[in-house]
Amino acid sequence: MTTLVKLPRFLLIKQFIESQINSGNWLVGARVPSENELAIRFSVSRMTARRALKELDDEGLLTRSPGLGSFVAKPKPAAPQINLPDVIEAAQAAGSYSCQTLEISAVHADGDTADLMKVDVGDNLYKGMFIHLVEGIPIQFQEIYVNPKMAPAFLKQNYEKLVPHPYLDWISSPSQTELKITAIMATASQKRKLLLTGEEEGVCMQLNTRKWCIDAVLSISVAINPAERYSLSSDI
């Protein structure tokens, strides 16, 4: 005999809101239904709807503004941290951060990328290429590949407001992050993207990052950072 267990109504509301965010239907900053709207939709009391919204606010998925309502929260970076997200967060607060999206598209994995992503050659992936700037000065060129099964709304985000890695941490909660740091000389193409001139300004730090969710790879990223414009620390 099978016994069906009914979920508490506030959990059903939470699951509904989480599914709308994870699917990309509700983007960062979007207003979510009010307590009254949720109460009517799910045939519950306003107290039950309020509990669902409060728990999502406590968990960081929503932010609540008295008199205005609840909104999809900006993702927060997860540990371990390097100080680039902190630099960007401070620059965003001061209004001095900007991001140029060079490419964001669906692609098929080639041999090397498939090996790093632990997928088959030809499998679908999402690709993004970005220039991160502070006060109009490029501080990082980033190329990232993402498993679309784990972040289906990656292509829909507005990366003028978001930073890709904190968004992925927020949406998928990686269980492990691999980080490799090397010193390199920027290629001619990378120097053009980062507005570097002269031999000395070609010295860069390269950050190779791979994020895992249990036994599957969420993303791989290569970030090129001009040494004179960037410092690195870790709280691992």
Give per-residue pLDDT as tens, 1-20: 444 446 688 888 998 999 89
More confident residue, 69 or 82: 69
Alpha carbon distance 72, 234 (integer Å): 29
3-state SS, residue 235: coil
Q: Do domains 9-72 and 84-229 have the same CATH topology?
A: no
User: What DSSP assignment string belongs to 186-206?
Assistant: PPHHHHHHTT--SSGGGEEEE
- The superfamily in CATH containing domain 84-229 is Chorismate lyase-like (3.40.1410.10)
Average pLDDT, rounded, for the chain: 84
Over residues 46-61, the mean pLDDT reads 90
Whose tokens are 């900053």? That residue is 29
In b/e form, how buried is each residue of 14-50, taking b as 16+ CB within 10 angstroms? beebeebbbeeebebeeebbebeebbeebebeeebbb
The structure's pTM equals: 0.63
Q: Is the pLDDT reported for residue 228 higher than 50?
A: yes
Question: Tell me: domain 9-72, CATH 1.10.10.10, correct?
Answer: yes
pLDDT at residue 159, as a whole number: 86
**Separation of CA 116 from chain center:** 19
Domain ranges of the chain: 9-72, 84-229
pLDDT band at 196 (very low <50, low <70, confident <90, very high): confident
Q: Residue 66 has what pLDDT?
A: 82
Predicted confidence at residue 2, as pLDDT, reads 44
Q: Is the pLDDT assigned to residue 87 strictly greater than 90? A: no
| pLDDT class of 160 with cuts at 50, 70, 90 | confident
